[in-house]
């Protein structure tokens, strides 16, 4: 099964207030394994970057000016995701921004039914715990050392690992036959000669002496 784990960075919280996507990162999973195929782009939002947002992801107006605009990359992005389910942390946020951008580009929105929300899964799986991406990475022992600020691609890669753990780990669907075959190549099989199981004459004599010494055995009653 093919799935896409993705994330966005934006200029703010609400697209209806004029905020835009400035970065998209996505990674491909196939049968719950990262394939190495990714999609990543920065976007020129064609507006100023608020300082509060810049503190979160480190993307300045100077850096983003001259990057592609959404309309220039949307075809490549849609081709990458295909018809796969879209996994995101707080999926409603990313889907709302994506569909706002699609509307601006006169394209059809993507239905929310395609979204898988890891935040919702975490709340059901770990009630009362913290559900941030950082907290989930810590819970599952996923290395966060490369994450100094929010970034769409690195967050998508981390979330892919979290998603696999949240939904049962890599053991789901694991091919035990393939594993056994692989293990056969690690160990040399050694055949041993069959061992005789008949009692020796000495053992038979000791047994007869033991039985003769029993007082009133049950099988003679």
Residues with active-site annotation: 150
- Quote the CA–CA distance of 21 and 53 in Å, as a whole number: 11
C-alpha distance from residue 187 to each of 105, 175, 179, 191 (Å): 59, 19, 13, 13
User: What size, in residues, is the chain?
Assistant: 221
Express the helix, strand and coil content of the chain in percent, nearest 5 each: 45, 15, 40
Burial 124-133 (b: 16+ CB within 10 A, else e): eeeeeeebeb
């Amino acid at each position: 099964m093919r799935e896409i784990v993705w994330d966005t960075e934006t200029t703010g919280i609400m697209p209806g207030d004029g905020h835009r996507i400035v970065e998209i990162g996505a990674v491909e999973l196939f049968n719950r394994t990262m394939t190495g195929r990714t999609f990543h782009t920065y976007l020129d939002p064609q507006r100023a970057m608020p300082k509060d947002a810049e503190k979160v992801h480190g993307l300045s107006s100077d850096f983003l000016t001259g990057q592609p605009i959404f309309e220039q990359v949307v075809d490549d992005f849609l081709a990458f995701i295909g018809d796969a389910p879209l996994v995101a942390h707080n999926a409603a946020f990313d889907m709302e921004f994506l569909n706002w951008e699609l509307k601006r580009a006169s394209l059809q929105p993507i239905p929310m039914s395609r979204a898988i929300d890891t935040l919702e899964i975490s709340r059901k799986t770990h009630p009362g715990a913290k559900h941030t991406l950082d907290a989930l990475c810590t819970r599952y022992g996923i290395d966060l050392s490369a994450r100094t600020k929010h970034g769409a691609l690195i967050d998508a890669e981390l979330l892919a690992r979290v998603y696999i753990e949240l939904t049962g780990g890599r053991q789901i669907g694991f091919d035990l036959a393939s594993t056994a075959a692989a293990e056969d190549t690690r160990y040399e099989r050694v055949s041993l000669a069959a061992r005789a199981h008949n009692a020796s004459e000495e053992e038979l004599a000791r047994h007869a002496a033991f039985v003769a010494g029993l007082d009133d055995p049950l099988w003679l009653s």
